[in-house]
Amino acid sequence: MSAPAQAATTAEVGVPVPGSEHEESALGLGPPGWVALSMLVVILIMIWKGVPRLIAAGLDKKIATIRQQLEEARALRAEAEALRADMEAKAKAAHRDAEAILAGAREEASLLVARAKTDAEALIARRRKMAEDKIAAAERGAIADVRATAASAAAGAAARIIAERHDAAADAALIDRTIATLG
């Protein structure tokens, strides 16, 4: 490569070319000095106009807003925890109530079963007594029928025997004897 081509390539990369070490300056300050001086002037103007106070006030306002939001969040959390505790207490109470209702229902069911059992036994006993009474009445009726039939048969047989063995003279003697015993 030739020297001018080499100088062009190094100038493009940002490496100073030998022989070109001359820097431009105004009032003895180079570009970095002027940049620093202008930044210093801008910072002094900002301080003079109270920009740091405005920034601090804005930040304080933002901090106050955040604190207020945090307090609201704490209050909401406390309220949510209180509601949760209340709901848990209500759930436990409802569970206890349900268990009490279930125990009462079981007790009532056992009482109903016991009552039904005693009622059934009493009904069976009444029905048995009624059946025994009907049987006894039927026996008495049958005995009365048998007695009536036997009495009727005996009266008929006696009448036939008397009719066969007694004649009018025997009847007259019997009637006289009966009348004599009456008097």
Query: What gap in Å lies between CA 89 and CA 83, rounded to an integer?
Result: 10
Please report the pLDDT score of residue 6 as a whole number.
52
| Number of helical H runs and strand E runs in the chain | 4, 0
Q: How far apart are CA 6 and CA 181, in angstroms?
A: 189
Prediction pTM value: 0.38
What residues have CB less than 8 Å from 29, skipping those under 6 apart?
Answer: 37
Distance between CA atoms of 117 and 123, rounded to whole angstroms?
10
Six-digit token string for 120: 């059934």
Ordered by start, the domain boundaries in the chain are 38-182
Measured distance CA(2)–CA(11) in Å, rounded: 14
∠ CA 89-92-97, nearest 5°, is 125
Task: Tell me, rounded to whole angstroms, the distance of Cα 62 from its chain centroid.
Answer: 48
Cα separation, 71 vs 105, in Å, equals 50
Contacts of 23 (CB under 8 A, 6+ apart): 30
Tell me what pLDDT residue 115 has. Answer: 93
Nearest to 139 by CA among 147, 55, 68, 17: 147
- In the predicted model, residues of the chain with pLDDT beneath 70 are 1-23, 183
**Token pair 């209702």 in the structure block, residue:** 101
For 155-177, write each residue's pLDDT tens digit: 888 888 877 777 777 778 878 88
